[in-house]
Amino acid sequence: MYMKSLQVNQCKIIELCKIIDGRDGVLSVAEAQRQIPFDIKRVYYIYDLKYASALRGQHAHKQNKQVIFCINGSFTLTLDDGSHQQEIVLNQPNIGVFMDVKLWHTMKDFSEKCILLVFASELYDENDYIRDYNEFKKYINDTF
């Protein structure tokens, strides 16, 4: 189950179409500047999460925008814009969340065989990451 709207700023639900082809499965498509609201420079996926207690993310970005999907299993995505926090369970492969810049996010409660797929607007750059929550709060207060 997912929410159609989010109370956290700088993010939104992305719903890909489902083209159902009977016994031949389902096709969902994600294209840059269409369903994904930016040019895609990097695609990565997270899998083989051995422990449901694993905690991923715990950071924000200065420039990188992302759309995250759970293409197998489920997990809980926590979003924090500095003023509002919200948890959303992703468990449908065609439903994702667009995460703009200056958005703290954490992933947890991974199901068995969970696979996360992420489209990113930027190439990897460690300097783009804000990995300390207090620094994140200061950064968003200084830039707004």
Task: Give the residue numbers marked as catalytic.
Answer: 59
Instruction: Report, in angstroms and rounded to the nearest whole number, the Rg of the chain calculated over CA atoms.
Output: 15
- Write the DSSP assignment of the chain as a string of letters: ---SS-SSTTEEEEE---EE-GGG-EE----BTTTBSS---EEEEE-----TT--EEEEEESS--EEEEEEES-EEEEEE-SS-EEEEEE--TTEEEEE-SS-EEEEE-PPTT-EEEEEESS---GGGEE--HHHHHHHHHHH-
| Number of residues written out for the chain | 144
